[in-house]
Structure 1
Amino acid sequence: MKKRLMVPDLGGARAMILHRPHATVQALTRQLLAIGLAVSEHWPDLPAVALGADYVFFDADMGHDGQFPWAPGEAPMPMIALIGSEAPGRIEWALKQGADAQILKPVGDNGVFSALLIARQGFEARRASAAEIAGLRQRLAERQTVVRAVTLLATRGRTEEEAFAQLRQLAMAWRETIEQAAARVVARHAATGDGDVRHELS
């Protein structure tokens, strides 16, 4: 069964428009207000309070690095590019900023609602993927730490099986996970050059 698109409640959401004064801004503002969003217009930079916005619309034609209070691609909300020029360099720049949707200029009397939904869906999917990748990297790092700890413990004439058994014993004694115990063994070795922590079991 396909998962249905969750339509967010847009009433009261805050949208910021980063665009020079123009008819595009007026048309966009009319649609956003009709949908129920609070709107503010800014140029040439977004203020720090933009960090609390729910959506940001930005001019892809005259936009440049440094206009946002965050690093490129790290916006904490959905970003919607307002595109008039389809020059590859401008499209590439908009994508670099993390555009989740786009609206072609000139902006007419519709298209904003669908752009809001697409941007929100794209933003959430991108954020979920980033969290999953971060989790996988963390798990990989923890596994590498366990392997490193077992290797250090095995240098004392133990087999890898015996070293892993000792690591498990350490984890139980310290009331930690095996990964946490492994990190402690590795940290001790880095600090003292000694991976033998048996005396710490007393």
Structure 2
Amino acid sequence: MSSGARRLFDDLRTLQVVVIHPPGEDRTVLEEQLRRIGCPVRPVWPFPAQLPADADVIFFLVGPELRTAGNWCAADTHATLIALSDYENPTALKMLVDTQAHGVITKPYRSTGILSTLVLARASCGYQRRLEGKIVKLEDAIKARRHIEKAMRILIDTHRLSENDAYEHMRSRATSLRVTVGEIATMVIDAHEAMDKLGLGRPKPS
């Protein structure tokens, strides 16, 4: 076994896996195969009202119980969601799409295919989380840029600076105070708003 494959299996063995499914042969097949893989497994039934908070992977039955469980979506958990589908009709497919599951296993459940579904679902979940992280950073960068531009506009209007001089002034102050330009922008905006409240926000025209 290669080091990469061994690391993959070692990672799988650390996962806390929850199987939300009624007792019976189908659940037994899932549990036994997951335990062969090395995953600690916790069966849960009836369907819980909330997503289990301590799980890394959640196998869950798509059925009438899901509709009464409240919020049940990949966006609401860090766990990997793998749907267990009894049948394929428009209602079940709609519920499946709404959960944004990272993988799906359909009946009859077999020992073959569970490992590959688990690995691919974990990879899909990780990729989705990385994309979400990049989106958050991008949104934060856009907000920070707008914040800085607002502070620059204040300096331009109140101190008759050029756009370049306004930014360079904030950058220079950030360097000397060992803070970010964004923090300097906050100082400028806060100071300007405080002066406005005192009726001293803008210089009187000569």
TM-score w.r.t. length of structure 1: 0.82
Name 2:167's counterpart in structure 1. Answer: 164
Match of residue 74, structure 1, among 73, 76, 81? 76
User: Displacement, 1:192?
Assistant: 4.3
Matches within 5 A, 1:127-146: 127-146=129-148
Q: 164-173 vs 117-126, which deviates more? A: 164-173
Q: Which runs of 5+ in 2 are unaligned?
A: none
| Contact 1:74 1:98 (8 Å CA) reproduced | no
TM-score w.r.t. length of structure 2: 0.80
Name 1:84's counterpart in structure 2. Answer: 86
Question: In the alignment, does 2:191 pair up with 1:188?
Answer: yes
Match of residue 50, structure 1, among 36, 49, 52? 52
Name 1:7's counterpart in structure 2. Answer: 8
**Residue by residue, what CA displacement relative to the aligned partner does 1:9-51 show, whole Å, maximum 9, x if unpaired?**
2224321011222332111111111111121111233487932
Residue correspondences, number: 193
Instruction: Give the % identical residues.
Output: 25
Aligned equivalents of 2:149, 2:67: Cα separation in 1: 43
Match of residue 38, structure 2, among 36, 39, 53? 36
Name 1:199's counterpart in structure 2. Answer: none
- Residue type of the alignment partner of 1:177: T
Q: Larger helix proportion, structure 1 or 2?
A: 2
Question: In the alignment, does 2:127 pair up with 1:119?
Answer: no
User: Displacement, 1:108?
Assistant: 1.9
- Residue type of the alignment partner of 1:162: D
Q: Which runs of 5+ in 1 are unaligned?
A: 197-202
Name 1:101's counterpart in structure 2. Answer: 103
| Contact 1:168 1:178 (8 Å CA) reproduced | yes
**Residue by residue, what CA displacement relative to the aligned partner does 1:48-78 show, whole Å, maximum 9, x if unpaired?**
7932222100011234256378766222111
